[in-house]
Amino acid sequence: MDPVIHIENISYTYPEAERPALDGVSLDLFPGVFTAVLGANGSGKSTLAKHLNAILVPTAGRVTVDRMDTADEAYLIPIRRRVGMVFQNPDNQIVANVVEDDVAFAPENLGVEPAEIRRRVDAALTQVGMYDFRLHAPHLLSGGQKQRVAIAGVLAMEPEVLVLDEPTAMLDPRGRREVLAAVEGLCRGRGITVVLITHHMDEAARADRVLVMDAGRIAMDGTPREIFPRAEQLRALGLDVPETAALLARLNAAGMHLAADALSPEECADVIKEALCR
C-alpha cells in the first residue's frame, strides 16, 4: 500500500535560527492509521505537523502527499484539501457566530454547491457528536464542544488526513475525553488517517503507532505496547511514563515477573490479578 504522506529525510531551519527544528526526519504515514506524536517541548512536533500540509516546506529533503510534492505551489490547494489541521486553541479557529455557519465556512470558500455544503455540514457535525448544537453560538459552548466544532470545520473539507496539534491541551478532562472519542471515531469508523500530537500518554496509548520526537529527530517509533514499557528511555527524552507502565516496572524491579505492556488500568489490573492467583 502506498503511504498517503511520504517524508524523505527532511530538515528544516527557521529563518535566523541557529539550529534546525527538524534534522533528518523520514516517515511514511499509511491510510487509516492513527499515529500519536510525543516529545518534549521544542522537540519539533509542531514543525513536523506544519510540513504535512505545506504550511512549511523543508529546507532539505522532500514531503509528498498522495505523491504531490509540498514544495510545488501548483499542488498547494489539493494538498490543503487532503490534509486538514486542527490547532490547540479552538477560539482561534472558529470564525462564525452560529455553529453550522462555522462548519460551512471552508467549503463555501471553495465554491462547493449549497446542497452539497448542507450535506457535508450535517455529516461533519454528526461525526463529532455536535449535530444537535448546529444552531448554537460557538462562544457559549464548552472547550471540548468548541474543539469538536473546529474539527467538524476541517471535516467539511472531506480530508484524507487529520492532523491535530495538541487539540486537548486547553481542555478539562471531560473535554479531552470528548475530543479523543471523536478523533478515534473518525479513524476507526471513517477510515481517516489521524496524526495526533499530544503530551497525554493515555491519549497516545489509544493510537496504532507512537512516534517520540527529540531535538528534531524521531527517537522512537513503534506500537504503544512497544513504546510505553521503555520507561527509562521515555524519561530520558523528557516524557512522563504512563502510570500503568511505571507501576508494572516497579513491581518487576521488586521481583515480580509481570508482562510490562499493559496500556490501561484494566489491563494492568488483569496482569497483577493473574500473577497473584497463579
Interface contacts to ligand ADP, rule CB under 6 A: 14, 17, 21, 39, 41-47
Residue number, 39 or 175, with CB nearest to ligand ADP: 39
Q: Per rule CB under 5 A, is residue 168 in the interface with Mg ion?
A: no
Least distance in angstroms from the C-beta of 15 to ligand ADP: 7
47, interface contact from ligand ADP, Mg ion, none, CB < 5-8 Å by kind: ligand ADP
Least distance in angstroms from the C-beta of 167 to ligand ADP: 13
| Cell 471531560 sits on residue | 174
* Whole-angstrom distance, CA of residue 190 vs CA of residue 152: 13
Least distance in angstroms from the C-beta of 89 to Mg ion: 12
Residue number, 165 or 261, with CB nearest to Mg ion: 165
| DSSP H or E run through 65 | strand 60-65
180, interface contact from ligand ADP, Mg ion, none, CB < 5-8 Å by kind: none
Least distance in angstroms from the C-beta of 45 to ligand ADP: 3
| DSSP H or E run through 43 | none
Neighbouring CB atoms inside 10 A of 254's CB total 7
Residue number, 41 or 109, with CB nearest to ligand ADP: 41
Burial 122-145 (b: 16+ CB within 10 A, else e): bbbbebbebbebbebebeebebbb
14, interface contact from ligand ADP, Mg ion, none, CB < 5-8 Å by kind: ligand ADP
47: which DSSP letter? H
Residue number, 162 or 247, with CB nearest to ligand ADP: 162
102: cell is 462555522
- Pairing between β-strand 193-197 and β-strand 34-39 as defined by DSSP bridges: parallel
* Whole-angstrom distance, CA of residue 176 vs CA of residue 196: 13
44, interface contact from Mg ion, ligand ADP, none, CB < 5-8 Å by kind: ligand ADP
Neighbouring CB atoms inside 10 A of 255's CB total 6
| Cell 471513517 sits on residue | 190
Question: Letter for the amino acid at 160?
Answer: E
Given the rule CB under 5 A, which of 43-51, 68-76, 94-102, 151-159 is the region that contacts Mg ion? 43-51
Phi, psi angle pair for 28, to nearest 5°: -115, 130
21, interface contact from ligand ADP, Mg ion, none, CB < 5-8 Å by kind: ligand ADP
Q: Per rule CB under 5 A, is residue 46 in the interface with Mg ion?
A: yes
Residue number, 45 or 51, with CB nearest to Mg ion: 45
CA R_g for the chain = 20
Least distance in angstroms from the C-beta of 19 to ligand ADP: 7
Least distance in angstroms from the C-beta of 46 to ligand ADP: 3
Least distance in angstroms from the C-beta of 139 to ligand ADP: 27
Residue number, 39 or 61, with CB nearest to ligand ADP: 39
Residue number, 46 or 147, with CB nearest to Mg ion: 46
Nearest to 202 by CA among 245, 232, 249, 258: 245
Phi, psi angle pair for 214, to nearest 5°: -150, 125
Q: Which residues contribute to the site for Mg ion (CB under 5 A)? A: 45-46
